[in-house]
């Protein structure tokens, strides 16, 4: 039996815009992706079998609510699709233990990154039948964000988000991530509502954001980052707009939704400032709304990284 350990970084959309409709009916997007050092860890136990069986377990010390352990999980879908892409459609017995650190339904690509890590692990187990470009092509069949989660780093995403162009930032970035735990936003609803939205739209300046990142101009980053979903989402969920204003009042250089939300990323100078902003935000919530309300916010400090899903360990375990 092979035991393979992989790590799956979260992603942010530093910019997100909907720019049209593709021939296949999908919305055409333009986004600036960024990978983070906030990661899920996946441990796979894999061995050949006569028929494929898949077991997915949420590991770690804390209970993970809403974690799907059935065939709806992208890990399971990735396994099935990878196997069906190999000659002879081989069968395996596979157990995946997932230590979830990326919040679920947060717009941070947790499921997509787990899928990317699964592809990397299976590619190792089967002796690297697919090169990088082939894996990227496979990953695009599983979801629009999966190719970036495989590629990692900092990328422009076009088309569905899976047409990637890698860029090289001049320096690393630090963030406070803030997710209201009681709120989730449906992706199909968000896109449908965007099409029907009659309010004043906003469109981030992707070209300016890329130039700011590659030059290290943080003021221009703060001015050019943004998300076209925000006018719609803030109309439907005004508490999110209030949260954005509060983050700015407390000193964030900018604060925007990632994906369709509900998670905000607040750009700050360094990790120390992110920790200080977290303390100030929770203190403000306690003062204004009570300690119970502060507990409804999941606040995480994270920094940018220049990698995607990756292997961190492998060993062969001999059965007794």
Three-state secondary-structure class, residue 99: strand
Instruction: Provide the 3-class DSSP secondary structure of residue 81.
Output: helix
- DSSP H helices, 48-170, are 74-84, 110-125, 132-140, 146-151
Q: Are 34 and 209 in contact (CB under 8 A)?
A: no
Cα separation of 98 and 9, whole Å?
A: 13
Which residues have a Cβ under 8 Å from the Cβ of 293 and sit 6 or more positions away?
Answer: 285, 286
> Is 93 annotated in the active site?
no
- The Cα-based distances of 184 to 56, 101, 140, 221, 271 in angstroms read 23, 17, 24, 27, 27
CB atoms within 10 A of CB 157: 25
Q: Are 115 and 81 in contact (CB under 8 A)?
A: no
Per the annotation, the verdict on 145 as an active-site residue is: yes
Q: Is omega for the bond preceding 176 within 30 degrees of 0, making it cis?
A: no
Cα separation, 317 vs 320, in Å, equals 9
Q: Which of 77, 145, 162, 260 is catalytic?
A: 145
H or E element in which residue 179 lies: strand 174-180
Interacting residues of 261 by C-beta distance below 8 A, sequence separation 6+? 107, 185, 190, 229, 233, 237, 240
User: What is the DSSP code (8-state) at residue 171?
Assistant: S
Catalytic residue chosen out of the listed positions 11, 77, 100, 179: 11
Residues taking part in catalysis: 11, 145
């Amino acid at each position: 039996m092979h035991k393979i350990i992989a790590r799956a970084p979260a992603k942010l959309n530093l910019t997100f815009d909907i720019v049209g409709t593709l021939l296949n009916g999908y919305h055409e997007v333009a986004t600036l992706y960024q990978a983070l050092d906030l990661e899920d860890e996946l441990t796979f136990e894999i061995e050949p079998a006569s028929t494929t069986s898949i077991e997915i377990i949420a590991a770690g010390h804390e209970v993970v609510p809403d974690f799907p352990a059935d065939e709806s999980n992208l890990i399971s879908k990735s396994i099935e699709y990878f196997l069906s892409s190999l000659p002879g459609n081989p069968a395996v017995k596979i157990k995946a233990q997932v230590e979830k650190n990326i919040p679920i339904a947060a717009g941070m690509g947790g499921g997509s990154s787990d899928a990317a890590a699964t592809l990397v692990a299976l590619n190792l187990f089967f002796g690297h039948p697919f090169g990088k470009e082939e894996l990227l092509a496979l990953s695009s069949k599983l979801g629009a964000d999966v190719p970036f989660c495989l590629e990692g780093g900092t990328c422009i995403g076009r088309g569905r988000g899976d047409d990637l162009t890698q860029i090289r930032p001049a320096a690393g970035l630090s963030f406070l991530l803030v997710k209201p735990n009681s709120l989730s936003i449906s992706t199909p609803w968000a896109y449908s509502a965007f099409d029907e939205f009659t309010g004043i739209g906003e469109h981030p300046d992707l070209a300016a954001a890329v130039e700011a990142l590659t030059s290290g101009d943080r003021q221009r980053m703060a001015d050019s980052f943004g998300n076209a979903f925000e006018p719609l989402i803030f109309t439907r969920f005004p508490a999110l707009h209030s949260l954005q204003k509060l983050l700015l009042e407390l000193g964030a250089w900018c604060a925007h939704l990632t994906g369709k939300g509900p998670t905000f990323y607040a750009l700050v100078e360094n990790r120390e400032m992110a920790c200080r902003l977290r303390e100030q935000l929770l203190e403000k919530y306690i003062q204004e709304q009570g300690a119970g309300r502060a507990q409804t916010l999941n606040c995480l400090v994270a920094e940018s990284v220049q990698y995607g899903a990756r292997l961190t360990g492998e060993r062969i375990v001999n059965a007794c």
